[in-house]
Structure 1
Amino acid sequence: MLELRPNCECCDRDLPPESREALICTFECTFCADCASGVLEGVCPNCAGELVRRPVRTPAMLAKYPAATKRVLKAEGCGPLKAA
């Protein structure tokens, strides 16, 4: 089950569970649409995975399985993944 993280890891913008502006990778790293399409160019800076729109959980399932509340923010800032 997805965590539905509450914010963009890049700019800390709020991304409530019903937001259609949230994008995730397969590890559930979460970014807003502006950061994902802008600075990140559609690629997760943590794993180099594709960023896709996060699904929206129905209100009934959200009541049963609440969204995460822990905020995650990249301390070193955000940018495209750097080659090792």
Structure 2
Amino acid sequence: MLELRPSCECCDRDLPPESGLARICSFECTFCAGCAEGVLAGRCPNCGGNLVARPIRPPAALARHPASTVRVVKERGCTAVA
């Protein structure tokens, strides 16, 4: 089950579960579309994997399996993967 993290790891932008702007890697690192497509150029700075649109959990499923409330933010922001 995806965690559906609540914010971008780079800029701390809110990314509610219904947001179409959330991007994730296979480890569920979470970024907003702006950071993912901008400074990160589509690559996760943590694992080097590609970033894709996070699926949206239907409301009934979200009620049974709520999104995470734990915010993960990089202290110094993000930089592109070398």
- Tell me how far 1:75 sits from its aligned partner: 1.2
TM, length-normalised to structure 2: 0.97
Rounded Cα–Cα distance in structure 1 between residues aligned with 2:35 and 2:77? 12
Rounded Cα–Cα distance in structure 1 between residues aligned with 2:23 and 2:11? 13
> Percent identity over the alignment?
68
TM, length-normalised to structure 1: 0.95
Rounded Cα–Cα distance in structure 2 between residues aligned with 1:10 and 1:25? 14
The residue identity in structure 1 corresponding to 2:70 is K
Pairing of 1:69-84 with structure 2 (within 5 A): 69-82=69-82
RMSD: 0.7
Which residue in 2 is equivalent to 1:26?
A: 26
Q: Which runs of 4+ in 1 moved over 4 A?
A: none
- How big is each residue's C-alpha offset from its partner over 1:62-84, in whole Å with a ceiling of 9 and x where there is no partner? 000000000000113201124xx
The residue identity in structure 2 corresponding to 1:8 is C
Rounded Cα–Cα distance in structure 2 between residues aligned with 1:75 and 1:47? 17
In structure 2, runs of 5+ residues without a counterpart are: none
Q: Work out the number of aligned pairs and report it.
A: 82
In structure 1, runs of 5+ residues without a counterpart are: none
